[in-house]
């Protein structure tokens, strides 16, 4: 009896073991594992090609890995595209699937004429030229981007007031030196080609050839820059709260508005709406709106007491956008009512940028994070690179601090 029980126990254990082995997953090959991770992209047109061989660009983890895969399926590498981890190659049309199944392959696309720079018969430039453009040393540090002139030239201004004007071909048109300073804002170009810029306690108007058209002296230092209204008037605000509208042809004062009270200095550039309304922010969290004739329209006060050091922007629909240094972003309707408020995770040291639609907003925080906001203030995206340091400039970057290339 005991022998029978032992026999049945052995049989039962054997059956369970066999069933377990049958149910266990089979070992997978490297190719099957690679397929499960992510199938490579193969450009559909390659499947319909009637030719016996295909000219393709094969991308993998590195150009060496791509080259090994091509050679394994009987193909030939024609160019090493190491910068993008790929090779240009010709492969037998019948080996396309085998190449796609090779471990590490990320994509296979039709070769549309990729060539290596410096290769035979091609110097790597669309213009078929490889030459250095004129080089112009600057007599100071350029802290802001150049401004484009209406005739295709550019104007550069250094912080100590040295002006360089270049022709469209890069040749030098004029050099001059302005008094006062520092000059830390981008020049503004009017519809007639006149260039306006502010520095120290002065506003200057220059002709495109560098000749002086007029200059204006403000009662206090001007920390921001110049803004133009739809009718051409030149607007500027000094840090003591004097807001001016100047005649674009003569520099004469058209009107003056004084910001009074404990509102703080004016540190940013004014902004002008489509209807001529002028907007000015102050350090203690105020935004003032003045009518086109210089009379007061309305005032917005931030509840958090945000320091407003960056000038506002006006969208295509008249919405006013501005940001506080502590990370608050505001959008106001044209009547001064709050449209939305958004908070970033770090300080804002750069003026927000408007999108091409004139309603989307992009904000860079000091935590090297870029925020994209929809027109209603909701977050569209948040991008933070894995390397880098804090963001303290706008979306565009100036040319070299001590030299300029054209």
**Each residue of 78-126: pLDDT tens digit?**
999 988 999 999 999 999 999 999 999 999 999 986 555 555 665 555 5
Whether 128 shows a pLDDT value over 90: the answer reads: no
Q: Which class for 169: exposed (0-12), middle (13-18), buried (19 or more C-beta within 10 A)?
A: exposed
If you write DSSP's letter for every residue of 328-381 in order, what string do you get? EEEEE-TTS-EEEEEE-SS---S--EE-TTSS-EEEEETTTEEEEE-TTS-EEE
| CA 88 vs CA 62, 96, 101, 149: distances in Å | 13, 14, 18, 43
What lies within 8 Å, CB to CB, of 30 at 6+ separation is: 103
**In this predicted structure, what is the pLDDT of residue 126?**
52
Please list, in sequence order, all residues whose beta carbon lies within 8 angstroms of the beta carbon of residue 235, skipping any fewer than 6 positions away: 226, 227, 228, 229, 243, 244, 245, 246, 270, 272, 278
Q: What is the pLDDT of residue 216?
A: 97
Mean pLDDT of 3-12: 43
Tokens of 248: 């674009």
Alpha carbons 253 and 230: distance in angstroms, whole number: 17
pTM for this predicted structure: 0.64
Q: Helix, strand or coil for residue 109?
A: strand
Q: What pLDDT does residue 195 have?
A: 97
Task: Report the phi/psi class of residue 9: left, alpha or beta, with left for phi > 0 and alpha for psi in -120 to 50.
Answer: alpha
Q: Residue 168: CA atoms inside 13 Å, Cβ hemisphere, count?
A: 4
Spatial CA neighbour of 267 closest among 177, 327, 198: 198
Q: What is the CATH number of domain 146-217?
A: 2.40.10.480
CB 312 within 8 A of CB 306: no
Classify domain 230-396 by CATH architecture: 7 Propeller (2.130)
Q: To 5 degrees, how large is the angle CA 307–CA 308–CA 311? A: 165
Mean pLDDT of the chain: 84
Residues 30-110, CATH architecture: 2-Layer Sandwich (3.30)
Summarised one tens digit per residue, pLDDT across range 306-316 is 789 899 999 98
* Residue ranges of domains in the chain: 30-110, 146-217, 230-396
CA torsion angle for 197, 203, 209, 211 (degrees, to 10)?
A: -160
Do the beta carbons of residue 354 and residue 347 sit within 8 Å? no
């Amino acid at each position: 009896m005991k022998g029978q029980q032992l026999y049945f126990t052995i049989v039962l254990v054997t059956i369970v073991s066999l069933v377990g082995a049958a149910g266990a997953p089979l070992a997978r090959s490297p190719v099957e594992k690679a397929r499960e991770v992510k199938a490579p992209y193969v450009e559909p047109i390659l499947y319909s090609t009637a030719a016996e061989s295909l000219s393709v660009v094969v991308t993998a983890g590195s150009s060496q890995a791509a080259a090994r895969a091509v050679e394994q399926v009987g193909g030939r590498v024609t160019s090493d595209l190491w910068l993008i981890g790929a090779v240009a190659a010709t492969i037998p049309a019948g080996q396309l699937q085998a190449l796609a199944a090779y471990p590490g392959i990320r994509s296979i696309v039709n070769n549309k004429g990729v060539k290596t720079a410096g290769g035979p018969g091609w110097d790597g430039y669309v213009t078929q030229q490889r030459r250095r453009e004129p080089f112009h040393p600057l007599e100071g540090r350029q802290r802001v981007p150049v401004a484009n002139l209406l005739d295709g030239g550019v104007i550069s201004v250094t912080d100590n007031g040295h002006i360089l004007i270049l022709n469209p071909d890069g040749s030098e048109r004029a050099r001059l030196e302005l008094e006062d300073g520092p000059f830390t804002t981008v020049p503004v170009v009017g519809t007639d080609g006149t260039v306006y810029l502010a520095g120290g306690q002065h506003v200057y108007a220059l002709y495109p050839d560098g000749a002086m058209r007029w200059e204006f002296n403000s009662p206090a230092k001007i920390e921001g820059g110049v803004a133009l209204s739809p009718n051409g008037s030149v607007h500027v605000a000094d840090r003591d709260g004097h807001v001016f509208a100047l005649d674009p042809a003569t520099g004469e004062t058209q009107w003056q508005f004084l910001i009074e009270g404990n509102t703080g200095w004016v540190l940013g550039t004014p902004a002008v709406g489509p209807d001529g309304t002028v907007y000015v922010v102050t350090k203690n969290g105020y935004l003032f709106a003045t009518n086109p004739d210089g009379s007061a329209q309305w005032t917005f006060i931030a509840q958090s007491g945000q320091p407003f050091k960056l000038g506002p922007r006006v969208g295509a629909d008249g919405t006013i956008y501005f940001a506080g240094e502590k990370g608050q972003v505001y959008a106001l309707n044209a009547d001064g009512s709050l449209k939305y408020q958004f908070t970033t995770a770090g300080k804002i040291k750069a003026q927000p940028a408007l999108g091409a639609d004139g309603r989307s907003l992009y904000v860079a925080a000091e935590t090297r994070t870029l925020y994209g906001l929809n027109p209603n203030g909701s977050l569209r995206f948040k991008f933070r690179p894995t390397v880098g340091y804090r963001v303290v400039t706008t979306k565009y970057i100036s040319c070299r601090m001590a030299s300029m290339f054209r």
